[in-house]
Structure 1
Amino acid sequence: MTVFMVISGFAAEYAAAVFSIMLHELSHVLAARACGVKAVMVSVTILGFSALIPEGSCSKGERILICLAGPAFSLVFFVCTMLAGDMIPGEQYFLRLLSASNLMLAFINLLPVLPLDGGRLIHLVLAGNIGMLAAGRVLRRFACVISLFVVAAGGYQLYRSSYNASLIIIGLYIMLITMTGRTESALMNMKQIVYRRSRLLKKGVYPARDLVVLKSTRLSDTLKSMDFDRFHIIYVLDDELNIIGMFTEKEIIDALTGSNDDMTFEHLIK
């Protein structure tokens, strides 16, 4: 996760934040490993670390566990370093930095903004009820409000301490990922549908969800109403609301693969 809170020009602050972020991402990796998933890549930049974990074969509970692992570890490490700083004689400046870094790291990652951990958790919950794309739209609205609030707080912070613009950087980062998140949401929806086959084969039993569409509905529009943790069966109705066809999500995807995006269910039935 990108280091937001250490744009201060001091090596000790930077080192404490980078070390905290490394442990935060490592906790995600270990939680994924406990669920039987290996991290594909852990990228290292001048601003921090980020773990890429393929969660396609994980259950909803396992995904929640992986998301919570990072903030939970940061909060535990915050408490440990704060207690250690009180118990060990001396000022223990670096322990205080570690404590503050982990508290801020947990707080930032729990914000309801994708791709932060809090955003991923809320997206998991909402997607099961309203679909992934609708959940993405809700989170983008949250992100816009949060980014404006954080930038305003950052302006006040910069006014009070002219050397610290960390909150402004956080707010601008939230705006950036919100503006670029629309395409990612659509791709995420398709990816989860493709991963569903491996989860179904792995479990043998899988929850299903029925969808009802009119024959004039485009196949591509149906994907927007699918959620990540259900296998879908689609019933097609005519203008008198009589059932004239039934398809599985695999049949929809196969049809879209061999046709254009404007194909309707009426064309599919013919």
Structure 2
Amino acid sequence: MQIGRIFGVKIVFNWLFFFFLFFYALMGRLAESVTLFTVVLLHDFFHLLVARGYGLRVKEVELFPFGGMAHIDDLLEYDPMVESRVALAGPLFNIFMVGAAIIVYTNSHILAQELLLFFIRCNLLIASFNLLPLLPLDGGRVLRANLSKRFGYRKATEQAVLISKIMAVIFFTVGILGFYYGAVNYSLLLIAPFIYYAAHREQNQAAYVFVRYLNRKHRELDREGILKAGYIVALEDTPLKEIIKQFTHKNYQMVLVISPGYKIKGTVTEGQIIDAVFKRGSHLPIKNLL
């Protein structure tokens, strides 16, 4: 459900968010649920700002109970460093908010102290939870970014998803055991299905990232009737991540590969490079594609 736009970016509620809000409202904690919603929105707003700072086009932000997912209309995944920084922006902002709230709490007696303490706990919860190395959480994105340097985006996603699903099953099992022994922890019972569902969806979406990228190029060609081709000259030992940095939205790039002696070794297309990055990693020298 779309609730509005920020800087032209659609803000969308996932159905799980409504479930959590309704659950806490039934428990008589409506003010806390609204505070949680505000913290999550600020968390994702900072993701959005950092993504925009890198020149990325954000299509929409989908809000989950413990964070959100920015749907970026660019190949964020080909640059692990950028993906890591965008992912870490949210938790770092929550930590900043904790510091600011503590200053307000210790120097003001006007604001509702109890609600302010809950605001601090919310930020700590959102920051620490999102730093867990599980997809689709921010920590999981950092994990995938680091794995993709070695294995490529697709295999890195599969490994991160496997870890996430195993941990979701463990969380749910611990929650059930706690319920059986009288130490009820509703959070684990609610979080586990969320992680499993979201990780599975992330796995399905990852399979189509490369296809979506090329389809967007095709749509631009169909819409404009023309798409400029650009040539890039690269030494044969240049890693793919450096070449991709030169790609632009409006051009379809052709890369002329040359030897150290400036002899032409061959030509590699943009599509071949993007496909190789997702399958084999961004540190692969371009000569391996010839």
Normalised to the residue count of structure 1, the TM-score between the two structures is 0.65
What is the CA–CA distance in structure 2 between the aligned matches of 1:109 and 1:97, rounded to whole Å?
18
- Counterpart residue type for residue 26 of structure 1: F
What do residues 91-119 of structure 1 show as CA deviations (whole Å, max 9, x unaligned)? Answer: 61111111111111112211222222111
Find out whether 1:16 has 2:35 as its counterpart.
yes
1:187-198 pair list within 5 angstroms: 187-191=208-212
Residue equivalent to 1:127: 148
Match of 1:89 in 2: 109
Amino acid at match of 1:119: G
In the alignment, which residue of structure 2 is the partner of 1:42?
61
What's the counterpart of residue 149 of structure 1?
A: 170
Counterpart of 2:199? 178
For the Cα contact (< 8 Å) 1:78–1:103, is it kept in 2?
yes
Give 2:37's aligned amino acid. Answer: V
SS in 1 for 2:73: coil
Q: Work out the CA distance in 2 between the residues paired with 1:179 and 1:56.
A: 20
Return the offset for 1:160: 5.6
Hey, which of these two has a bigger chunk of strand by percent?
Answer: 2
Which one of the candidate residues 65, 75, 85 is aligned to 2:85?
65
Post-superposition CA distance 1:200-251 (Å, at most 9, x none): 335x9x9x9xxxxxxxxxxxx978733256574446xxxxxxxxxx4xxxxx
Q: Residue 32 of structure 1 contacts residue 39 of structure 1 at CA under 8 Å; is this kept in 2?
A: yes
Q: What is residue 261 of structure 1 aligned with on the other side? A: none
Gaps of 5+ in 2: 1-13, 218-240, 258-274
Mapping of residues 162-241 of structure 1, within 5 Å = 165-191=186-212, 199-202=245-248, 225-228=279-282, 232-234=286-288
Deviation of 1:67 (Å): 1.2
How many residues in Structure 1 have an aligned counterpart in Structure 2? 222
Matched-pair identity in %: 21
Q: Take 1:59 and 1:34, find their aligned partners in 2: how far apart are those partners?
A: 15
Contact 1:157 1:167 in 2 (8 A): no
Is residue 71–residue 105 contact of structure 1 (8 Å, CA) maintained in 2?
yes
Q: Secondary structure, in 3 states, of the residue corresponding to 1:40? A: strand
C-alpha contact (below 8 Å) 1:143/1:175 kept by paired residues: yes
The alpha-carbon distance between structure 1 residues 231 and 184, as it changes in their structure 2 partners (threshold 3 A), is farther
Aligned to 1:51, what secondary structure does the other structure show?
strand
Structure 1: which 5+ residue stretches go unaligned? 209-220, 236-245, 247-270
**For the Cα contact (< 8 Å) 1:111–1:117, is it kept in 2?**
yes
The one-letter amino acid paired with 1:64 is: S
Residue number in structure 2 paired with 1:254: none
Once the two structures are superposed, residues 59-113 of structure 1 have per-residue CA deviations (whole angstroms, 9 ceiling, x without a partner) of 4433322111111101211232234323333761111111111111112211222
Q: Distance in 2 between matches of 1:176 and 1:185?
A: 14
Deviates more, 1:189-198 or 1:51-60: 189-198
C-alpha change, 1:146 and 1:46, in structure 2 (3 Å) is closer
Q: Separation in 1 of the partners of 2:284 and 2:213?
A: 10
- Distance (whole Å) between structure 1 residues aligned to residue 66 and residue 109 of structure 2: 32
- State how far apart, in whole Å, the 1-side matches of 2:153 and 2:209 are: 8
Instruction: Kindly indicate whether the alpha-carbon contact (under 8 Å) linking 2:69 and 2:136 is maintained by their aligned counterparts in 1.
Output: no
